[in-house]
Chain A
Amino acid sequence: MLSGVPRVKLTLNGAEVDVDAHPMKRLLDVLREDLQLTGTKEGCGEGECGACTVLVDGRPVCACLVPWAQVEGTEVTTIEGLGDRHPLQQAFMDEVGAQCGICTPGMILAAIALGPKPSLQDIKIGLAGNLCRCTGYEAIYRAIQRVSA
């Protein structure tokens, strides 16, 4: 597509990918459009809501603010990378931590970044960049605590 521009190579959900996309394209759009991984949602497009949260080298970032070029050589994890069998995914269902579900992929990935046995305070701080309009957050915190128990 672009001559002379090196293709970005990275590890995505454990597999190497090599996608020909413009280096300035948002990571969010490369995931959703070029890779058909639509689990990552666009809530605001300005880094305020966290719906587009993915993990880059284990750290949560807003995919709407990351240029494709900057994930070169990194390990990116999206909600699809959890394979539908992650304990957090089950806990979110059991505790009804999801209603409309638009914040849920971002919430789960942000929760994974908290590590094992986060305190309630750790959870609140760690999820401060993820907004939910439906649940009032309590069920989300319960789901995360349930997994850490």
Chain B
Amino acid sequence: MAGCTDLYVALNFGTLTGTKFLDLWPLERLKKINVKGDVLEIGALATYSDVIASRKAHKWLPMLIDAARQIGGPQIQNRGTIGGNVANASPAGDSLPVLAAADATVVLRNATDLRRVKLSEFYTGYRKTVRRPDELILAIEVPKQTGKQWFRKVGTRAAQAISKIVMAAVRDERPRVAIGSVAPTVVRVPRTEAALAKGSIEDAAATLAEEITPIDDVRSTADYRRTVTVNLLRRFWADTA
């Protein structure tokens, strides 16, 4: 357990059945945010407040700052961690589209091995990851970014809201778009990205409407999500022109 902002909700509701917990909070070394060669290494225990306060993160990955500022409110930002967001594997996790669009890598360690898994390969299904039970997420590595970064979270309020749709995107010769809350996991949209690379927003918009598979749930409808996601794509393209 780290920031406990998801864990204790389940614990309080009685839906968490585990009885043994390992407290990671004291592992100060895992809170650091540093540039190591050509990657930004975000320690798994870096809180959203740590990210917001990090000049390196501001310079390297401003769309992560945008995301961190829109998660919960100050109380949640002071405790919730990037590693926790990644491990929790919610399809609505707000940092996940940022990390997916940035081609980030998850660094995992157990007693014997260290391995790296691309974030785009980390999720296998709804709340399912390739993390083994004896593995700890040490850090998220983000390669140096080019182009313009863009982030938008659509929710009922500007704070304390789980997203209806959340999108992060990067515009350069290789456009990248990642979206949350429209599938069981965070997704990239390669066919839409290919259409954007050709410069056609109309083709990309039409492709995107087919490429995502949103559902109706307590927060929104498939129809709303499809419509608004395409609107967000157009907004991204216009904002970064």
Which chain A residues have a beta carbon within 8 Å of chain B's beta carbons?
Answer: 23-24, 26, 45-48, 50, 53, 56, 59-62, 64-67, 69-70, 72, 110, 113, 125-131
Within 8 A of A (CB), among B47-79: 49, 72-76, 78-79
Establish whether residues A126 and B74, one from each chain, have CB atoms under 8 Å apart when the complex forms.
yes
Asked if B220 is at the interface (CB within 8 A of a chain A CB), the reply is: no
Complex CA–CA separation, A128 to B9 (angstroms) = 19
Asked whether A131 and B160 contact (CB < 8 A) given A47-B5, A65-B8, the answer is: yes
Please give, as numbers and ranges, the residues of chain A lying within 8 Å of B21 by CB-CB distance.
24
Question: Given A24, A110, A129, which contacts B72 in the complex, CB threshold below 8 Å?
Answer: A129
6 residue pairs A–B, Cβ–Cβ below 8 Å = A47-B8, A48-B160, A62-B79, A64-B12, A67-B23, A129-B159
Could you say which residues of chain B place their CB within 8 Å of the CB of A126? 74
Per DSSP, are chain B's interface residues mostly helix, strand or loop, or mixed? loop
Are A59 and B78 interface neighbours, CB within 8 A? yes
Decide if A47 touches B1 in the complex (CB within 8 Å).
no
With both chains docked as a complex, state the minimum distance between the C-beta of A8 and any C-beta of chain B, in angstroms: 11
* Cα–Cα distance between A98 and B73 once the two chains are bound (Å): 21
In the bound complex, do residue B12 and residue A26 qualify as a contact, i.e. CB atoms below 8 Å apart?
yes
Beyond A62-B75, A65-B3, 8 additional contacts (C-beta under 8 Å) are: A26-B8, A26-B12, A45-B13, A48-B160, A53-B75, A59-B49, A60-B74, A66-B79
- The reply to whether B23 and A47 contact each other, CB–CB distance below 8 Å, is no
CB distance from B47 to the nearest CB of A (A): 9
**In-complex Cβ contact of B73 among A66, A70, A72, A129 (8 A):** A129
Contacting pair B74 A110 (CB below 8 A): yes
What's the Cα separation between A125 and B71 when bound, in Å? 12
Binary CB contact string for chain B from 63 to 107 against chain A (1 if under 8 A, 0 otherwise): 000000000111110110000000000000000000000000000
Give the shortest distance, in Å, between B28 (CB) and chain A (any CB): 12
Residues of chain A within 8 A (CB-CB) of B158 are: 128
Contacts of B12 in A (CB 8 A): 26, 45-46, 64
